[in-house]
Structure 1
Amino acid sequence: MAKLEVLVGLYVKNDALYLEYRKAMTPILLGIGGDFGYDFVVGKVLKKETSNDINRVFTIRFPSKEAMDTFFSNEEYLEIKEKYYKPAVEHTTIIRSYEITE
């Protein structure tokens, strides 16, 4: 069965708040059947297609596009995003999204 995976680059400016964001939002993500794949803290970016700085790269998976849309519009998630993500992350870059089969 194909899943939707998104490759994301961030510029995290507050690691402690970002960690709180991940702790708070992960149960919601898991609850809709999503998960994280890879997660990297990046020391140096050699080439990029954006003017945004990037110091964190990860993949996030969803069972479908509909599940992703449900996750990102979830009221509890939006409250967590406002409290932790917005003050912790300066830039978000969606590098790619694609279907995967496992």
Structure 2
Amino acid sequence: MAVEDVVGLQVMDEVLYAKYREGMLPILKKMGGYFRYDAHIQQELKSPVNHPINRIFIIGFPNARIRDSFFSDPDYLAVRKEFFDRAVASVCRLSQYSIEEAPGL
């Protein structure tokens, strides 16, 4: 069963974040992962966290094992260290769930 995470970020450097996405996308696709939604947001109306969110997306994987493998993959971790850690001030997993099939893919 596929799994999806809804993630909110506070992106501080859009250029570095774009380089992160460019570097991680081939790794994500190789593992069967995808982005279903990806959006910049202008204003939060309600939040349970103490930091703003200016980016929200849904990232999905064929199953939880592959998701865990992706986030521990040495190539992914190298890209994350080089770009993501300097581009993003905070991360909040808003939701995580399983689905039969990702709509729209």
TM-score (norm 1): 0.97
Match of 1:24 in 2: 23
Aligned structure 1 segments of 4 or more residues deviating by more than 3 angstroms: none
- Give the distance between the partners of 2:99 and 2:13, measured in 1 at CA: 31
RMSD: 0.6
Q: Quick check: 1:75 aligned with 2:71?
A: no
Match of 1:90 in 2: 89
Q: Quick check: 1:51 aligned with 2:50?
A: yes
Residue type at the aligned position of 1:50? V
- Give the distance between the partners of 1:79 and 1:65, measured in 2 at CA: 21
Percent identity between matched residues is 38
- Give the distance between the partners of 2:81 and 2:100, measured in 1 at CA: 33
TM-score (norm 2): 0.94
Q: Which runs of 5+ in 2 are unaligned?
A: none
Equivalent pairs, count: 101
Secondary structure of the 1:45 match is: coil
